[in-house]
Amino acid sequence: MGNEASYSVEMKRIVKQFGPVTANDHVDFKAKAGEIHALLGENGAGKSTMMCMLSGVYRPTSGEIRIHGEPVRIRSPKDAMKLGVGMVFQNFRLVQTLTAAENIVLGEKSGFLRGPRWMKNKQEEIEAISRRFGLPFPADRPIWQLSVGEQQRVEIVKTLYRGADLIILDEPTSVLTPGEVDLLFETLDRLKKEGKTVIMTTHKLKEVMHASDSISVMRKGRMIATMDKAATNERELAQLMVGKEMLESRTSVSVGTPGKPMLIVKGVDVYGDHGRKALDSLDFHVCEGEIVGVAGVSGNGQKELAEVLNGLRVWQQGEVRFDGHELRNGSVRGAIEAGIAHVPENRMKSGLAGSLGAVDNLLFKTYRSKERSRFGMLRTGSNRSWSQSLVERFDVKTPSIDAPVQQMSGGNQQKLLFAREIDQDPKLMVAVHPTQGLDVGASEGVHRLLEELRSKGRGVLLISEDLDEVMQLADRILVLYGGSIVGNIPREEAEREHIGMLMAGLRDQDHSHEAGSHKEVAR
């Protein structure tokens, strides 16, 4: 058991510095062949930096890495792949204009004359792998047309396709249904039985306790503890992660009675980027002082629904009424002026400009207002004071309000995004995967902000594939499948297994009446 050769990877006394900042401080980490090892830690704890050094993205300032007992120098991702190390990153490494299959084979060596069927054969091989591991996606479609969940599946299949012995998965289940999570864990078990090592970073403690064999916890750049799963529990892990007592899970939150419907969607048809119908005769409403959760597998119309409500996509048929007036079709400014706020699914792609500082990012929606500009010129001094007050109010950790936001942790980026949207005092918040990739502490903060909006009589449409999050926060849960609502379930009637079945397109007879009995009629 103590034999070093039994470990597939060992990282000894690892130090990583970025200028004056020490991201990893003499960290020791090791994982055995044939195990699933969970690596926990808040954003900024240093766990991603450790895995980036193991996968060749960064080089350690000092320390030693051993693979199967042998000292190695990993100077690039290519070196890591040669050693059998592959990583699925939280921010995907995909070329948007290439197809999923082209991304997976990108950089692969082959004979000089590939022949006309080479790519077709590769695509068939990739589709076979995706079916085998239960990770479906359209291999012939360009990445920009795929949802976040489908893009994540492409990354996972890419690693499996390249045959890594040590697979690092960063938040691998954040966009999967309960059924798909179970299938993924079955896949990980198969990999484990084949002698492969799986290192999984995640903030979902239930999944850690369900899937892992060993657990390591990092905090503030240091390794706090490593233990077998049997020797710990969720509460202890949460305490180790944040260094303080965590709040008890809020299974029931006292809320007032929802007011009148503020958003009414009737018979809406929407087509996706691929030309197929993404939303089919959609009917639902959101009331004042209500959080409505939208549950569903990625790719069932969630992306298009959020874009329609925020003016980023037009609808072909139907009607969308907001606050007593018809919403302008395909008008971003119309949605903003109506009082609809938006936290998009990918904060760094469509929410924030990474190379700009906090001031510019906070001004994106208000630079035309009298408070922020005059005669077409920005009020620089007052805008900086306003930005500083928002950063302090929402507890955004940044070296300065001028530092590029891409240098912030994911949790602080999300807080800045919420600060910009909530400062406008919106009537409706459309929040898409608002805690994706965030740690326990940052997720709690986001949940508090959504609950505060509800308590002030605002409406919240929470679109999330994290079923635990939806069941914890939502007053009603809409299940979206194939672009239609197949379930409209009050919070007190919500059952995890039943919702999971609806998300997968299955309806048992006991609940087959539900979509009809809860059919929304909002006049």
The DSSP code sequence of 213-273 is SEEEEEETTEEEEEEEGGG--HHHHHHHHHSSPPPPP-S--------SEEEEEEEEEEE-T
Q: What is the pLDDT of residue 179?
A: 65
Given a contact cutoff of 8 angstroms between Cβ atoms, the answer to whether 421 and 390 are in contact is no
Length of the chain: 523
Q: What is the pLDDT of residue 510?
A: 47
Band (pLDDT 50/70/90 cuts) for residue 243 is: low
Given a contact cutoff of 8 angstroms between Cβ atoms, the answer to whether 39 and 170 are in contact is no
Sign for the CA dihedral angle at 367, 368, 374, 377 comes to positive
Residues with Cβ within 8 Å of 279's Cβ and at least 6 positions away in sequence, in order, are 268, 269, 270, 301, 304, 305, 308, 315, 483, 484
Mean pLDDT of the chain: 86
Q: What is the pLDDT of residue 114?
A: 73
- Pairwise pLDDT comparison (154 vs 253), residue with the higher score: 154
Band (pLDDT 50/70/90 cuts) for residue 343 is: very high
Decide the pairing of beta strands 261-271 and 428-432: unpaired
Q: How far apart are CA 109 and CA 114, in angstroms?
A: 10
Q: What is the pLDDT of residues 362-381, one digit of tens each?
A: 999 999 999 999 998 999 99
- In the chain, CATH 3.40.50.300 covers 4-242, 260-339+461-523
Is the pLDDT score of 240 beyond 90?
Answer: no
- Where do we find the tokens 């240093």? 46
Coil, strand or helix at 6: helix
Is the pLDDT score of 514 beyond 60?
Answer: no
Q: How far apart are CA 258 and CA 180, in angstroms?
A: 33
Q: How far apart are CA 191 and CA 198, in angstroms?
A: 8
C-alpha separations of 377 from 357, 380, 424 in Å: 19, 9, 21
Residues with Cβ within 8 Å of 425's Cβ and at least 6 positions away in sequence, in order, are 339
225, β-bridge pairs: 217
Band (pLDDT 50/70/90 cuts) for residue 465 is: confident
Q: What is the pLDDT of residue 176?
A: 60
Band (pLDDT 50/70/90 cuts) for residue 245 is: very low
Q: Confirm or reject CATH 3.40.50.300 for domain 260-339+461-523, answering yes or no.
A: yes
C-alpha separations of 412 from 225, 248, 462 in Å: 26, 23, 20
Is the pLDDT score of 478 beyond 70?
Answer: yes
Residues with Cβ within 8 Å of 365's Cβ and at least 6 positions away in sequence, in order, are 336, 420, 421, 424
Of 203, 228, 231, 202, give the one whose Cα is nearest residue 215: 228
Q: How far apart are CA 37 and CA 11, in angstroms?
A: 14
User: pTM of the predicted model, to two decimals?
Assistant: 0.62
DSSP string computed for 472-494: HH-SEEEEEETTEEEEEEEGGG-
Coil, strand or helix at 13: strand
Q: In what order do the strands lie in the sheet with 325-326?
A: 277-287, 261-271, 317-322, 325-326
Packed helices 410-422 and 440-455: angle between N→C axes, nearest 10 degrees: 10
Q: How far apart are CA 261 and CA 521, in angstroms?
A: 11
Given a contact cutoff of 8 angstroms between Cβ atoms, the answer to whether 357 and 405 are in contact is yes
Is the pLDDT score of 175 beyond 60?
Answer: no
Is the pLDDT score of 516 beyond 70?
Answer: no
CATH number of 4-242: 3.40.50.300
Q: What is the pLDDT of residue 242?
A: 67
Q: How far apart are CA 17 and CA 59, in angstroms?
A: 10
DSSP string computed for 50-90: HHHHHTTSS--SEEEEEETTEEE---SHHHHHHTTEEEE-S
C-alpha angle 333/334/338, rounded to 5°?
A: 115
Residues with Cβ within 8 Å of 124's Cβ and at least 6 positions away in sequence, in order, are none
405 phi and psi, to 5 degrees?
-70, -20
Q: What is the pLDDT of residue 291?
A: 97
Q: What is the pLDDT of residue 36?
A: 95
Q: What is the pLDDT of residues 103-158, one digit of tens each?
A: 999 887 765 567 778 888 899 999 998 887 777 899 999 999 987 678 878 988 88
Rg of the chain, C-alpha, whole Å: 24
Mean predicted confidence (pLDDT) in 175-183: 67
Decide the pairing of beta strands 317-322 and 261-271: antiparallel
Q: What is the pLDDT of residue 174?
A: 60
Q: How far apart are CA 163 and CA 191, in angstroms?
A: 11
Q: What is the pLDDT of residue 43?
A: 64
